[in-house]
Structure 1
């Protein structure tokens, strides 16, 4: 099986085996302390996750019709544990296992369960508390590697995730939302960041939304295997149908962190004029570009003291037309605190360079009507075919953002008046000049000649291509 198929078995069965083993571990401890078998094994309130008798692991191994029995067992497990809703019942084990490619799919599924039976996943038997989370990360990494070419833009690399989480400096007790949460990596990193700061608690309110059913399930499993049980991730299209709402109003958050899809098709342009939540107060983005739709949704869900960090393609910084007007209005409202340029080839699904926009609804006095531009595009390490940010690169960006001062060839604080003079363009190299370009005299005439030569070569290549297409019978 390929990773896109196998992950649906592996993650669900790994989670279920762990839930069964922890339930058993808890039950044995309760019975030993209380000498009350009924309380230990058959009282739902005694357990964080209750496994009914018909769904316990040892009962399933010897079933004759294992696919059907799994479906029935999982239905009962979710009925007792609302936090698990949709994780197991969204997958049909009775029919789906035909993809295993065996003559007898039932037997193949049984063999897989027997393999899982070899694992003792009692908490006291794990080498370290985060072991299952690391396993989950590994499986998802394989899954992403095999599926990103098919549009799998739902997982942000660890170095970029770490940078964004640290930039937002999430505190204990805050509410954090990822409106395009993918496999849940940002939310896990936020919880771990708070846990590391407090050395014990990961007391942070985690919310998310994901439009793809399979990815939504993976996100929920991923958080559970990382030992995070209090979260609210909802299924649906964030722009067309925002689910994180209460009493007909969008929920507001202390922090929003996001890596939205770059310009997805059919983002909801046709309904934007009638948006129920009035999210597009700065303007309706163009039909073929959803970047500012996500940005405006994020701004609409920030508390008055809230901050957001969003990964965007460079085009967001300079595109004109409707997007230019939206950008101008956001800048005038003094909502952007920093624009950080990152290297190309950091993300899994595209090789283009990216930027981080930091939005802040309550800037400190010395940062008002100013934006910090950071050019970190040349600070990275290459590993295999992928670039990544080193620890020193992340520390440099964080220190520069916290200091909010100029740094030669790296960072510059720019007043909004200067931005206005540049048509509110946020191109980083308008303000931070790389060292290899500083004081360099550009011969405009020579550069135009080069451009004309390239255009001529392109025209010849296009003529040749059209000639070959006509020979093949294609009308061009």
Structure 2
């Protein structure tokens, strides 16, 4: 609790507000009989009913405050909060395919956990008696968060919900691997995209050499020779580093004594288009994509509607990864275009002007589970979902430089070239003499 109070800077805030003579006004707002911030139903002084504020309601209050905070401080796109319905879609995609084979003890990790929304929603989804996924499971939540205040919120939430707050760690995920000896069953994240990781480079690289094992991979070259190569993107965008951190923490698939296999790990991560398209062959981004696809870990990429997030209107995607694909998914990648599935909000929330309805989440999940191919009947049908399945090799290519002699140089024999050099030197006698003296 002392750490949480220190991260919130509560003592300094109260002292500052007291000096400005506004502390009493703020406290009176929170204790006003005309609002109800408790989980029990109450009445105001006029006898009007004040409904209870549920956990979900408090979550929406927090979302609105975070949205306003981001707008006022010009936070970068995707840096803070993930809409609740996007998290709901992610947990459906991660847990439903293996709902009948999940272990009784599970671990869930988020390397950019923020206020802990993905972790707690994942836990609620698994333990919900109505969904009957694994209501009696023993679930351990882990996370990293660099922002002090959101870290304190997440840690507070863990304490309130009887989770272990010691599994939430502060500071940069990229700079130090504090969970280096832990492997997780499930990982969900919305890492910051378009955000520089230059301040973490000294922890990852020594000069031009990558020293962190999380960001080095083994890949074959054109002739099949396997070599260890760097898997770091350009310094202006570190989102793929968070994905590599999660891949490094996947559980290995092992055969048990009874002949069955352990489930390995499953990952859902939100990215913008940069992770898909940035980086030429041989670049760090390309090496990361090669490592994922050539090791048959990429199950699906789902395109989301624009303007779905609070502080960005750009196109976003959910990547689904697994190191233990089912038989029908082996060697395949499913691309789903769900950009036309949304319903409009009555009032915009920052950049967010639409949301997923429950039926949209169900439609996307069903297409993913069935591994079906579907195309709109007409090109004008923007609201229809599109799905297509590709082979892993469809995404691969080599970049080859082909060199050939210039025909114009064919007339210049070595003797002719030497003569030309001499003639040029005669035209510049001082330069030629100076060159001869130096030689």
Query: What is the aligned counterpart of 2:314 among 333, 352, 377?
Result: 352
Asked which structure has the greater RCO (Cα within 8 Å, sep 6+), the reply is 2
Aligned mates of 2:37, 2:197 — CA distance in 1: 47
Q: Given the superposition, is the C-alpha separation of residues 272 and 138 from structure 1 closer, same or farther in structure 2, using an over 3 Å criterion?
A: same
Q: What is the DSSP-based 3-state SS (H/G/I as helix, E as strand, rest coil) of the residue aligned with 1:397?
A: helix
Q: Does 1:163 align with 2:89?
A: yes
Query: What is the aligned counterpart of 2:296 among 310, 327, 334?
Result: 334
Aligned mates of 2:119, 2:37 — CA distance in 1: 28
Q: TM-score w.r.t. structure 2 length? A: 0.68
1:342 Cα deviation from its structure 2 partner: 0.9
Query: What is the aligned counterpart of 2:163 among 229, 244, 262?
Result: 229
- Paired residues of 1:194 and 1:203 also in contact (CA < 8 A): no
What root-mean-square deviation, in Å, do the aligned CA atoms of Structure 1 and Structure 2 show?
A: 3.3
Query: What is the aligned counterpart of 1:147 among 44, 69, 91?
Result: 69
Which stretch of the first structure deviates more once superposed, 291-300 or 147-156? 147-156
1:95 Cα deviation from its structure 2 partner: 3.3
Q: Given the superposition, is the C-alpha separation of residues 124 and 105 from structure 1 closer, same or farther in structure 2, using an over 3 Å criterion?
A: closer
- Paired residues of 1:258 and 1:309 also in contact (CA < 8 A): yes
Higher percent of residues as strand? 2
- Paired residues of 2:158 and 2:164 also in contact (CA < 8 A): no
Match of 1:186 in 2: 118
Higher percent of residues as helix? 1
1:204 Cα deviation from its structure 2 partner: 1.5
How does 1:389-404 map onto structure 2 within 5 Å? 389-404=356-371
Aligned mates of 1:352, 1:404 — CA distance in 2: 27
Aligned mates of 1:407, 1:193 — CA distance in 2: 28
Match of 1:411 in 2: 387
Q: Given the superposition, is the C-alpha separation of residues 271 and 103 from structure 1 closer, same or farther in structure 2, using an over 3 Å criterion?
A: closer
**1:130-179 CA-partner distances (Å, limit 9, x unpaired):** 94523431331221121223317221001101000111117552110111
How does 1:377-392 map onto structure 2 within 5 Å? 377-383=339-345, 384-385=347-348, 386-392=353-359
Aligned mates of 1:311, 1:210 — CA distance in 2: 16
**1:8-28 CA-partner distances (Å, limit 9, x unpaired):** xxxxxxxxxxxxxxxxxxxxx
Aligned mates of 2:292, 2:163 — CA distance in 1: 36
Match of 1:314 in 2: 273
4+ runs deviating over 6 angstroms:
122-127
Where do 5+ consecutive residues of structure 2 fail to align? 44-48, 218-230, 253-263, 377-385, 400-439
1:376 Cα deviation from its structure 2 partner: 0.7
Query: What is the aligned counterpart of 1:195 among 107, 127, 150?
Result: 127
Where do 5+ consecutive residues of structure 1 fail to align? 1-77, 79-84, 424-476
